[in-house]
Structure 1
Amino acid sequence: MDVGIAGAGLIARGYFAHLTQRGMQPKLWSPTGKSARDVPSGTVLNVMGAIEGQFDLVYCANAAELAQSDVIILAMPANGHRLVLDALIPHLEVRHTVIISGHLSFAALYLSKMVAARGTQIPIVAWSTTALTAKSPNAPHELRIGQLRGNIDIAVLPAGQGATAKATCIELFGPHFTLRDDLLTIALSNLNPQSHLAIALCNLTRIENGEHWQQNSNMTPKVGNFLESLDQERVEIARACGKKVHTQLENFRQSSGQEITNTHELYQLQVARGTDPIGPKDINTRYVTEDVPYGLVATLFLARLAGVEAPLHQAGAAILSACYQRDFAADNDILGALEITDIASLKQLVRDGFATERVS
């Protein structure tokens, strides 16, 4: 299977190694060129951890060359999705399947709308998270894969193509995918924006000063209380949207079989198991610059449509906007383009996508 990967950062390189190891010949595209300059074509990528080996990176020159592949995976931060999708859309045909790895802010709906405007419809797959984790500990040409995720929730537009799209995902990455009913379930099950809000806001001076600090160890009881309250807001928004989602604690209990009573205990259990990653040390961390405009702002969009108050999400986004002197809501370049003003329309679109006759 021909696979093109839009993006050339850590996750994209991890996908390149994984797919190559599975006997495919993927190609990367670096939209801005920065990652390609860091690790240029012909560079031997040394991969260790959950995947091991040496891989010769291969790049596409542009979006048109990337679109020669039948399957295209977006593997980049959400603040690059609009740029990449706009470059790809003129080249997409009915033969294509597009996978958005780590879907945020209804980017799949934006792609559906733009493709429908061209008179066609393609399978668009939204993953709840990335298929693996990756870090570059020493040099750009070195990559450590922390884990290959055991399960990834996915939704497909249109929903009727779900079984076929899931089969494509399994062919690429193995049997690690659970098909959910629609994009709304994926959006409301994403725990990263609220978790990263609590971590970033309560450790902002550490991040700004570039301190070396342990992320899980610093999930203290009081920060844990904050995160649990954020989590409850997410659950209430989901309920108002007609969805039942698990709390973060329920998710962990279900997956681990461990009986824990609070978020602080959950994070300290991870520390005891040897999982205590270094917290962000750059004020431009994606915990803020990606997860506020494309995570929290999208959650607040759902809250408004459903008529639910989310004061902690609202305040968190406002406080970080004030700290950064930046309107993070204005940074979101996807939601406004969807022109969705009521929950009923959203509920239909997250199942069916935009039909060609809906866009003229």
Structure 2
Amino acid sequence: MKVAIVGAGSIAFAMAAFVEQQGHAATLWSPSGARTGALARGEPLVASGAIEGSFRPAVADSAERLIAGAEAIVVALPAYGHRHVIDRIAPFVASGQTVIVSSHASFGALYLSRLLSERGIAAPIVAWGTTLLSGRQASSTEVRVNTVRQKVDLATVPTAVSDQGLALCRTLFGDRFVDRSSLLAIALSNLNPQNHMGIALGNMTRMERGEAWGQSQNVTPNVGRLLEALDRERIAIADVLGLQVRTIFDHFHLSFGVPMGPVSEMNQAMHDAGKGGTGPATADSRYVTEDVPFGLVVTARLGRLVARPADLHEAGIHLFSALYGRDFTAENDLLAALDFERMPLARLQALCRDGYAGT
């Protein structure tokens, strides 16, 4: 199968290596083209870690060429780039193609659904609760893949074609997906924003100074307790909505294979097993610039919507805005495009079920 990958960072490179390893054909596209130049000139993509090998994914020079003939289109870049690339690819997506958002944030699937509906296009949109892989981009031709997750939550819009979305993901990426049947569940399934909030707050000076530090190693007992408290807020919102989402304990256990226990102990086990990864060596990290506006802001808004305020999430937004001298709430261009602040719960639930084509 031909898989079009939108992006050229660590997740996109890791995705391309995985797709090629599975015997499918990957094509990468970056709007700027800055990170795909070496690959476009014929240099191989070298993966190490959880995926080992040398691969030769194709490189497209436009969104139109990327999407032509692809069975699946995977959006694999930070959420602050989602609206821009969705605007670029939406004119070329055809009925029957499937778009996968890895990982989904800020109801970007609904924004894409609206654009496709305006064109009369019926294309399943699959939202993943997290990325299939984690890793670091070592150079313009190298990626270190830290993890290939064993379980990934997903939901398809519209839900009427959920079986189709799930089957395609399993065909391409293996039997590792759990269909949560609701885009709202996926909105509350991405643990990165809450986890990265605690990690970044606990290690901000390390990030600012550009130090080399072990991420899981520094999820100390105090940081671990903060992560657990943040998780309770998220789970409480899901409970009010009648949704099943994995806990932070499930996440670390299923993603990294460590025994259940307090979050700090689970992270120390990850570190001891060589799965802990390194923390950001810059304050200009997606742990803040992506996860605050496109993660914490969404959870906080959902908490207000169902009268279960997420006080710690709200505090995190204010703290990071003060630390960085920025209004992170205002930086979410997806929610602004959907007029999310004024959207009633019933309307949101209907859109998450049927997309814009069903309204």
Compute the TM-score of the two structures, normalised by the length of structure 2.
0.93
CA distance in 2, matches of 1:4, 1:253: 31
CA distance in 1, matches of 2:103, 2:286: 13
CA distance in 1, matches of 2:298, 2:38: 32
Match for residue 66 of structure 2?
66
1:68-83 to structure 2, matched below 5 A, reads: 68=68, 69-83=70-84
- Pair 246,27 (structure 1): closer, same or farther in 2 beyond 3 Å: closer
Match for residue 325 of structure 2?
325
Match for residue 245 of structure 1?
245
Match for residue 344 of structure 1?
346
Equivalenced residues, count: 355
CA distance in 2, matches of 1:135, 1:67: 26
CA distance in 1, matches of 2:71, 2:260: 45
CA distance in 1, matches of 2:284, 2:258: 36
Match for residue 106 of structure 2?
105
Amino acid at match of 1:348: A
1:1-360 to structure 2, matched below 5 A, reads: 1-37=1-37, 39-68=39-68, 69-137=70-138, 139-249=139-249, 251-252=251-252, 258-260=259-261, 262-340=262-340, 341-355=343-357, 358=359
Deviation digits for residues 52-87 of structure 1 (CA, Å, limit 9, x no counterpart): 222224211111111202321111111111000001
Structure 2: give runs of 5+ residues left out of the alignment.
Answer: none
CA distance in 2, matches of 1:249, 1:23: 33
What's the C-alpha RMSD, in Å, of the aligned pairs?
Answer: 1.9
Q: Find the residue that maps to 2:111 and give its secondary structure.
A: helix
Whether contact under 8 Å (1:45, 1:142) holds in the other structure is yes
Amino acid at match of 1:176: R
Deviation digits for residues 65-111 of structure 1 (CA, Å, limit 9, x no counterpart): 11202321111111111000001111122121101011111111111
Amino acid at match of 1:350: C
- Pair 45,259 (structure 1): closer, same or farther in 2 beyond 3 Å: closer
Amino acid at match of 1:284: D
Amino acid at match of 2:324: Y
CA distance in 2, matches of 1:251, 1:10: 21
CA distance in 1, matches of 2:213, 2:50: 25
CA distance in 2, matches of 1:278, 1:343: 39
| Greater mean alpha carbon deviation, residues 68-77 or residues 274-283 | 274-283
Q: CA deviation at 1:250?
A: 5.0
CA distance in 2, matches of 1:145, 1:254: 17
- Pair 276,146 (structure 1): closer, same or farther in 2 beyond 3 Å: closer
Compute the TM-score of the two structures, normalised by the length of structure 1.
0.93
| Greater mean alpha carbon deviation, residues 49-58 or residues 146-155 | 49-58
Deviation digits for residues 291-328 of structure 1 (CA, Å, limit 9, x no counterpart): 00111011112112112211111111111011111111
Q: CA deviation at 1:350?
A: 1.1
Amino acid at match of 1:355: A
Amino acid at match of 2:97: H
Q: CA deviation at 1:177?
A: 1.3
| Greater mean alpha carbon deviation, residues 17-26 or residues 280-289 | 17-26
| Greater mean alpha carbon deviation, residues 312-321 or residues 9-18 | 9-18
Write out the 4+ residue segments of structure 1 that deviate beyond 6 Å after TM superposition. Answer: none
CA distance in 1, matches of 2:253, 2:60: 43
Q: Find the residue that maps to 2:171 and give its secondary structure.
A: helix
Calculate percent identity across the aligned residue pairs.
44
Q: CA deviation at 1:251?
A: 4.9
- Pair 351,119 (structure 1): closer, same or farther in 2 beyond 3 Å: same
Amino acid at match of 1:181: S
Amino acid at match of 1:134: G
- Pair 258,44 (structure 1): closer, same or farther in 2 beyond 3 Å: closer
Whether contact under 8 Å (1:41, 1:58) holds in the other structure is no
CA distance in 2, matches of 1:5, 1:246: 27
CA distance in 1, matches of 2:142, 2:332: 32
Structure 1: give runs of 5+ residues left out of the alignment.
Answer: none
Whether contact under 8 Å (1:155, 1:180) holds in the other structure is yes
Amino acid at match of 1:106: F
Q: Find the residue that maps to 1:165 and give its secondary structure.
A: helix
Q: CA deviation at 1:40?
A: 4.0
Q: CA deviation at 1:37?
A: 3.6
